[in-house]
Amino acid sequence: MKKQSQKEIYWTFEKVKVGFNLFYKQNNRYPTAREIDKFEFLPSSRQIQRSFGGLENLRIKIGLNITNYSKGKHRSNVAGNILSQSRIIERDFYYFLLKHFDEILIHEQKPIHPTNLRADYFIYKKGRSKNNFNKGTLIDIFSSGDIYNYKSIIRHKRKKYEGLGYDIVFISVFPSNSKIIQKDIYEANKSFQTEHTILPTNIRTFEFEYFKENIKDIIKI
């Protein structure tokens, strides 16, 4: 939702509290700092800093149980949930791959020598020989909370994987209620050009559902 012009609104504490409650009603949780900046019925985080002494102080004043989403028990719970979700995704993804490739072509947690990396999955090409034994597609699948989180993860993974000669596929899994599609991935990747971190041509990135629908075109064996 597009924000109104902040110059037209005088944000009292009561108005901000109403905005927080409205966000909770729509999402069954209170907003993070990034979400506040996007939500039409709340001021910008900069205004919150000026008027209320920062977001953490505002949350305390409103009476929220969680006042800082970046540390403590909440952060630990989020990390634990992401790890648990990732394991489920990887398990289910393996059975998905079995529907499209012979089991002998699928290698889980393949060591990538001489690095310390392990590929989540490696799909070998058919007709391997001693000369082309490691020919295939390396797959790294991961969870992203939103498109900003996706971009941060890709920046990190690019540094780890650049220089490898493999065909590399990054697959981002977004929350089930997310509206992010492959077009958003393409747009996010364009921003890397202005940051001078353009992805190498052997690295491709896909949204999970798009990848599943187009797997035969993406991975050639």
Name the percent of the chain lying above pLDDT 70: 81
Give 86's pLDDT tier (boundaries 50, 70, 90). Answer: low
Question: What average pLDDT score do residues 123-134 get?
Answer: 69
Residues, the chain: 221
Q: Give the pLDDT confidence score for residue 72 in this predicted structure.
A: 45
Same domain, 101 and 179: yes
Same domain, 24 and 120: no
Is 186 a residue whose pLDDT tops 90? yes
Question: What average pLDDT score do residues 162-189 get?
Answer: 91
The rounded mean pLDDT for the chain is: 80
Q: Give the pLDDT confidence score for residue 134 in this predicted structure.
A: 67
Query: Nearest to residue 117, comparing CAs of 162, 50, 74?
Result: 162
Q: Is the peptide bond before 200 cis (omega within 30 degrees of 0)?
A: no
Give 101's pLDDT tier (boundaries 50, 70, 90). Answer: very high
pLDDT digit string (tens) for 10-62?
788 888 888 888 888 777 778 877 778 878 888 888 888 888 888 888 888 88
Same domain, 56 and 91: no
Same domain, 205 and 135: yes
Q: Give the pLDDT confidence score for residue 74 in this predicted structure.
A: 43
Number of independent structural domains in the chain:
2
Question: What average pLDDT score do residues 67-88 get?
Answer: 48
Domain end among 31, 62, 93: 62
> Does 67 reside within a domain?
no
Indicate which CATH number applies to the domain containing 180: 3.40.1350
Q: Give the pLDDT confidence score for residue 205 in this predicted structure.
A: 96
Give 182's pLDDT tier (boundaries 50, 70, 90). Answer: very high
Helices 13-27 and 55-62 pack at an angle, to 10 degrees, of 80
The one-letter amino acid at 212: K
Same domain, 130 and 179: yes
The one-letter amino acid at 63: G
Question: What average pLDDT score do residues 77-83 get?
Answer: 46
Look at 103 and 32; give whichever has higher pLDDT: 103
Q: Which CA distances in Å does 167 have to 99, 190, 211?
A: 21, 20, 15
Q: Give the pLDDT confidence score for residue 43 in this predicted structure.
A: 87
Host domain of residue 57: 6-62
Question: What average pLDDT score do residues 212-220 get?
Answer: 94
Q: Which DSSP letter does residue 129 get? A: -
Question: What average pLDDT score do residues 77-98 get?
Answer: 66
Look at 169 and 130; give whichever has higher pLDDT: 169
Same domain, 100 and 187: yes
> Does 103 reside within a domain?
yes
Look at 177 and 128; give whichever has higher pLDDT: 177
* pTM across the whole model: 0.63
Is residue 160 a contact partner of residue 117, using CB atoms and an 8 Å limit? yes
